[in-house]
Amino acid sequence: MNTAVFVVGIGVISGIGNNVAECLDSLENEKAGIDKINYLSTNHRDLLPVAEVKLSNTELSAISGFAPSASRTAMLSMIAAREAWDNSGVKDLPGLRTGFVSASTAGGIDKTEDFFTSFLADNSKGRLRDVINHECGNITTMVAEKLGIKNHISTISTACSSSANAIMYGARLIKHNILDVVVAGGTDALTRFTLNGFNTLMVLDDQYCKPFDEKRNGLNLGEGAGYIVMVSERVAASLKQAPYCTLSGYFNANDAYHQTSTSTNGDGPYMAMAGALAMSGLQPEAIDYINLHGTGTQNNDSSEGAAIQRLFHPHYPKMSSTKSFTGHTLGASAGIESVFSALAIQQGIVYPNLRLQNPMVDFPFAPETAFSKQSGLKHVLSNSVGFGGNCSSLIFSKL
């Protein structure tokens, strides 16, 4: 069995930028993508801030190559996955077994909502073509076909840990010599279904979110897509450019505590982080930076914080939540944050946790509040916590 998995390509689109370079510029200059709702048709337009991608469906269509009638989720996926695919240099190598593993929680719900708006007003109206890509797997298939990937296509949907689990699955396909190359990550567009659902749970902040702040009041939803390209050691050695990093450890756990909440003592995040460390062969003090799940809700931040205290005390790495920039992009979040983690390793970056003014009093640590370059950054841990107790951690390591 192969043991090393190398990250050789990255691609992203989010509320802070339409590609990797734009997102990195926003992170460095502390420019959040959260703002008033502009594109989503909703009664909450003036009430709940979100981090929308700053492009209309017509503009996304022109960039992605999909028709304007396609799901916004598919267009976001195509843009980020193609950037990662092009960035990797892999597509120029012949004879490789390639796969596309993509995550989503919304799928084509945005187009289904368009159908039902017309249908409910008049049951003779509504375009049935708007519902044919409702299912998450259809989005994956559409993008894989555009990329020309045919050997393996899979879709993962495990709530907010979806992209992390897609990346884990892709890494296992490489480790077990089933595939040579996998594009893995996830995509989600904002929908009325998602916004209304989270609002019903009373976890949305009507101001800009403040992850890991004592006075945090909830999350801001976002949208986007993020993908990494992973390859075997043999393929990595044949590429002209150096890999960004390796994926040295990963683990998925479930605390089975509650449908929408995480255990108060952090069992789920603790098991995920501890498992990823065990796989990588690293001790907790080897981690230099944690990209926190950090949604800004009372439960999530307390649970993740408790897990970090249990595992890392008394030596705490630097940490921050980039959801303070991008909002919570649900099924896309771990894909986007994996791109940020790969960049952190490659360029020695620690990202700021925006709007943090009052660190949580229960913990002896606090996230970073300023963008910085760190020499000697070797290992980055990225956390994802999903509904149903589904928790995942990824570790990215310097070559």
What does the pLDDT look like over 195-246, one tens digit per residue? 999 999 999 999 999 999 999 999 999 999 999 999 999 999 999 999 999 9
| Domain spanning 5-238: CATH superfamily | Thiolase/Chalcone synthase (3.40.47.10)
- Looking up tokens 């699955």 gives 169
**Within this chain, domains 5-238 and 247-397 share the same CATH topology:** yes
Per-residue model confidence (pLDDT) at position 323: 98
Per-residue model confidence (pLDDT) at position 36: 97
- Render pLDDT for 350-392 as a digit per residue (tens, 0 to 9): 999 999 999 999 999 999 999 999 989 999 999 999 877 899 9
Per-residue model confidence (pLDDT) at position 264: 86
Gap between the Cα atoms of 99 and 150, Å rounded: 7
315 is catalytic: no
Gap between the Cα atoms of 113 and 196, Å rounded: 12
Q: In this structure, what token pair is assigned to residue 382?
A: 């990225």
155, containing H or E segment: strand 152-156
Per-residue model confidence (pLDDT) at position 2: 52
pLDDT of 3 above 80: no
C-alpha atoms less than 13 angstroms from C-alpha of 4 in its C-beta half-sphere: 15
**CATH architecture type of domain 247-397:** 3-Layer(aba) Sandwich (3.40)
Residue type, 251: F
Q: In this structure, what token pair is assigned to residue 93?
A: 């190598």
Query: Which member of 23, 245, 328, 391 is catalytic?
Result: 328
- Contact between 228 and 184 under an 8 Å Cβ cutoff? The reply is yes
293 is catalytic: yes
pLDDT of 263 above 90: no
Query: Which member of 160, 209, 245, 391 is catalytic?
Result: 160
pLDDT of 292 above 90: yes
160 is catalytic: yes
Query: Which member of 136, 245, 293, 379 is catalytic?
Result: 293
Domains of the chain, by residue range, sit at 5-238, 247-397
Per-residue model confidence (pLDDT) at position 128: 84
